[in-house]
Amino acid sequence: MPQTSAVDPTHRLVPSPAGRLHLVEQGDGPLVLLLHGFPESWYAWRHQLPALAAAGYRAVAVDVRGYGRSSRPAEVDAYRMLELVADNVAVVEALGERSAVLVGHDWGATIAATSALVRPDVFRAVALLSVPYTPPGGPRPSEVFARMGGEEEFYVSYFQEPGRAEAEIEPDVRGWLAGFYAALSADTMPGSDPHFVARGGRLRDRFPVDRLPHWLSEADLDVLAGEFERTGMTGALNRYRNMDRDWQDLADFAGAPVTQPSLFIGGGLDASTTWLADAIEAYPATLPGLTASHILDGCGHFLQQERPAEINRLLIEWLRNVCGQVYPSNAGPSAT
């Protein structure tokens, strides 16, 4: 099957259980799948695609089902975790490969870790950005989230009610996204926690106003907002609406470790990292193949966009450890 050059990214559609998945690929070499989180798209990896391609990898950034140009099934339960694992397997097959390394951020990290857990025959290593690995099991997720926040409501519970978050976001997608990105980025974080909603309020009530984080240009925001203005938010939000289904579907994997070689990178100012500090401490048992773990001081949630050069360096160092030394097809062994 023809592959892309290290120079030009290529957009393509491939078949999957969702119907079709849109992806952007660049480079030749060992396959690395890049999985974005909420509320993003393949575009979250725009800084990593050329860097990984130049380092000798076939980098593929996927629009997860429900996002961008990928299919958006109407049924809520079509967004359960095992369906997303099946999508990742379908991408590997459609690209003519037998295995891949997974790199995920935010929800993409959880999708990547679960894919590695369920299909170790296909996914030989996994890098997790922002959200640590926590094995399946424990209390029912909706019950846990309902107890969080005290008099306020945790954002996951807010997202889980069909139509509720859509009614807040869709009248002003661009403005909402700008505020959400700013609220979770190191240089624009507000003083009050944006993950909680006052009773009768909106999530955006605590977002910064008229400020963009340093990593997000107006043109970048146009790209990100344009996708959601076209697709709506329901496909993306349906991921949150399947967490109890995932808990049931993955019951046989309760407490199971991910044993493949792994990497974790978190932001020192990211709530995803600080809330789940116990999960990071448990890595010797839950990620026994962990080769490196990094907490980036002064970094927020959107690691690969806030600190692209640092993330690229850490990923490439880890990939060379996992895949062995590789060289770009258009460069000799002296390339760095």
CATH (residue range 10-323): 3.40.50.1820
Name the band, by pLDDT with cuts 50, 70 and 90, for residue 5: very low
What's the rounded Cα separation, in Å, for the pair 316 and 320? 6
How confident is the model at residue 1, as a pLDDT? Answer: 40
More confident position, 48 or 328: 48
Confidence of residue 191 (pLDDT cuts 50, 70, 90): confident
Is the per-residue pLDDT at 96 higher than 90?
yes
**pLDDT per residue as tens digits for the range 218-236:** 999 999 999 999 999 999 9
Query: Where do the H-state alpha helices sit in 64-172?
Result: 81-94, 107-118, 141-147, 155-160, 164-169
Given the residues 22, 105, 195, 301, select the one marked as catalytic.
Answer: 301
Given 28, 63, 87, 106, which residue is catalytic?
106
pLDDT in tens, 123-179: 999 999 999 999 999 999 999 998 887 889 999 999 999 999 999 999 999 999 999
Q: What average pLDDT is seen over the chain?
A: 94
The beta-strand segments (E) located in the chain are 10-16, 19-26, 31-35, 58-62, 100-105, 123-129, 153-154, 196-197, 262-267, 290-296
Question: What pTM was computed for the model?
Answer: 0.94
pLDDT at 335: 33
Supply the pLDDT for residue 331.
41
Report domain extents, the chain. 10-323
106 given a catalytic annotation: yes
